Structure 1
């Protein structure tokens, strides 16, 4: 650890300090720079509340702390970012150094912390991290559990179908004509002789019963989580929840993507880029065109896609727009991409509406 020496001691005035932090699971490495970009020191701290306080005190000992660049504010740096935000320190999200920079400078925690500080000093990193101390963070936690349960239920359903296909002929002939609901109910209530599990037919019935009961338990878990998520989503942003084509699942995803502080997104174009709904320029010479954006939050992009599908069926304005663009020669995929961009604009306005009302009050 480099011992801090206050800029006041050398210059007689309080200097401004920029911090940078390379985050890990157990430790955070911090670096401090002055306004001229000179390295003042670096140190390592544990990822505990006391460690966060010590890191902040160490940075402030050099002078007036202006801002701190933090890597991974959504993962390992979430606790530190929350602590700095509570202390009133400006935090900027810093991406890890690119490969070219790492080949030139090497790789170590102090080097990465210094790179984060230099990105914050040069204002190459200007992104505001999500606040993780409100209702949207609670919604995110519930959605993590729901998404896992949905994926596990789908996997159990696929495995159940596969076992039916490969089952012995007699069992397969019995189960194949059943619908999914009938199959689940039938398999869940079977009582095979577990003492004869060395026989393929009996073992298959036991496995089918286990998968059917797992499917039932996961469905119950998903329903219980939905009963919590739906009212919470409406309470956070009733304007968004009431929009055409926006259900609780779609609204929840868009709220989590924007975060507790959606005003951190400077414009509706920034929100569209975050959702991967903004086409990227791919022009060269006399060729002027745009290409599909495959970046951004793909779950948010999927939420916009589901809104488009709903409005294509039920919204007259959307259907009229589709008919007009189809007559102009656009394909259905191109039309959907345009619609996602327009809907992202409406969603952004809805996301900001509750915050505008709070400011007006």
Structure 2
């Protein structure tokens, strides 16, 4: 965190808040951010919805969501002397998604689009630090601290309250002219800037995201049960995935984009020019059996600086085993799973056994 050597210096500096706000937004766009809005350091209105979410148990084992509720609601408790929060977003689509009617190859390994390149968190924080440095050159010293999904912050709520978009029924933020394929970041500052106003909601009667969810995780508009969500199950969760959800997971091995791909507003989704989001190691066109050949050292090398590292090797292979079980019958798949079963821990073995059973059931059905 950058602090002033003298608080009187900060107080003594005079600036036109409206002019400075407009200048900051222009600088943010020059640095490659897709949008920039100024939010009030106040998210009290989000607490009741989070509490209901927790009471229903929809947070699964993400118990950290129960912590620091006061700081989430009042950002000034997280970073004292915060007067304004600069909220930014970065688009991450490399290419326009295919229409939802075009099926994915069943033997492909589907990885959420944000995770096919480098981890965006460092890029986001780095650019926010650059933005703070630019502002400091203009106004002198002030207090600032950058965040990118790295602290107890209602980042989506702050951005929404400042007009960056509205929360869709799938619980993701939607921008009217840019869709929802973007990530968020914040720069907490001691500057008094002009706050932006919320926009209106535009989901209307559309329930496409609710209807398309492979595991029915969107239990009602604006409420998602993480215990059923493919993104949670394949990234955060480390245990045995419930058998009744495995077929719905299909060949999605890290995250899920289905609720975004079906959203009409993503016909306006923008493509990124940020190289860190470009796929590495062919992760946009790799097969399940290709990835099944990875041992742990290969996994660690291939996921260095990648969001995929977060799930860990064994959980990653657990996810691939499910994908192989959901693939069309192949004697090669069955033999490969059987011959490599002992290479993995007990949790992965449970899913390998299930995958073999699924494969053999498809074979037997084809013979009838």
Q: TM-score under structure 2 normalisation?
A: 0.28
Q: TM-score under structure 1 normalisation?
A: 0.29
| Larger RCO, structure (CA 8 Å, separation 6 or more) | 2
Q: Which has the higher helix share?
A: 1
